[in-house]
Amino acid sequence: MEASDTAGRVPTRDADLTFARGLLEIERNDERRKREQTESMLRVLGQSVGGIVHDLGNPLTIVQGGADSLRYAINGNETDTELVKEFADMISSGAEMLNFLRLSLIEQTRVLDGTPTPVEARPVALRKIVEAGARFQKPYAKAGREIQIECDDTPIVADEMKMTTVFMNLIGNALKYSDGEVCVRQREYSLPGESGEKKVVDCVFRLRNEKQGHHARSGDAAVQGFRAA
């Protein structure tokens, strides 16, 4: 009887060990999965924060430039109220963008919770967004070049501040990778949809490199990277 009892307990002990090892392996896999997920979210957070910190430089330059110009006008007893107002508007618009980017930094913590950042989509004129993106360019980046904006007041539904940031970066890249004029041109066309044709509006960035001239192939290659819908 004792031999029989011992023989009966051995398989049970082996089964218990196998079950325990299985539970331990499941627990380790869960921990590894959570660690990889956290590392992935931290990488996304780091990239987002780095991008926002980079964007801070443009409006900060506008605020500093507006303040210096306003100080110069005051010291020179400038009485042109329109000019003074222009400098004050530069400071206000730059401060507004800085505040938006500050809030964006706070919003990035949502990544750790797995929740998306809020988007305030509402009708806004396309030209207004493009003009704001052009206004936030650093003077040394423009190097005296004019940014041509061939857009009208066609309304689009977008988060105005987020789209302004997008165009601020697109125009900045266009200036960076060209040494000639930069033109932002609006295009409109229709696409077939379930309920009829759908009107589509997009923007094309056209760059000109004075050193390369107007070689069609190099021009097309330069434009393609800055095309946005």
Question: How do residues 31-73 score in pLDDT, each as one tens digit?
Answer: 888 888 878 877 877 877 888 888 888 899 889 988 998 888 8
On average, the pLDDT of the chain sits at 78
> Which of 113, 138, 164 is the C-terminal boundary of a domain?
113
C-alpha distance from residue 158 to each of 20, 114, 122, 151, 162 (Å): 55, 23, 5, 16, 8
pLDDT for the residue 128: 92
147: pLDDT strictly greater than 50: yes
Mean pLDDT over 156-170 rounds to 90
> What is the count of structural domains for the chain?
2
Q: 28 and 56 share a domain? A: yes
State which residues form the domain around 8. 2-113
Residue that is last in its domain, among 113, 132, 154? 113
pLDDT grade, residue 209 (50/70/90)?
Answer: low
Mean pLDDT along residues 118-123: 87
Give the model's confidence band at 129: pLDDT under 50 very low, under 70 low, under 90 confident, else very high. very high
**Shared domain check, 105 and 59:** yes
> Model-level pTM?
0.65
Q: Which residue has the higher pLDDT, 149 or 24?
A: 149
Please indicate, yes or no, whether residues 94 and 24 belong to a single structural domain of this protein. yes
Do 65 and 87 belong together in one domain? yes
pLDDT of residue 210: 61
The CATH number of residue 97's host domain is 1.10.287
Instruction: Please indicate, yes or no, whether residues 54 and 126 belong to a single structural domain of this protein.
Output: no
User: Residue 219 pLDDT > 50, yes or no?
Assistant: no
* Whether residue 94 has pLDDT greater than 50: yes
Residue 29 has pLDDT above 60, yes or no: yes
DSSP string across 204-215: EEEE-BTTTBT-
pLDDT of residue 9: 53
Task: Indicate if the pLDDT at residue 213 is higher than 70.
Answer: no
13 vs 4: CA distance, rounded Å: 15
| Between 180 and 137, the higher pLDDT residue | 137
Hey, what are 172's tokens? 């900045």
Decide: residue 180, CB within 10 A, 0-12 exposed, 13-18 middle, 19+ buried.
middle
Per-residue pLDDT at 95: 92
215, 205, 151: which is closest to 181 by C-alpha? 205
Q: What is the pLDDT of residue 131?
A: 92
Residues 98, 156 within the same domain: no
Residue 229 within a domain: no
> Same structural domain for residues 48 and 148?
no
Question: Residue 156 belongs to what H/E stretch?
Answer: strand 155-158
Q: Are residues 141 and 70 in the same domain?
A: no
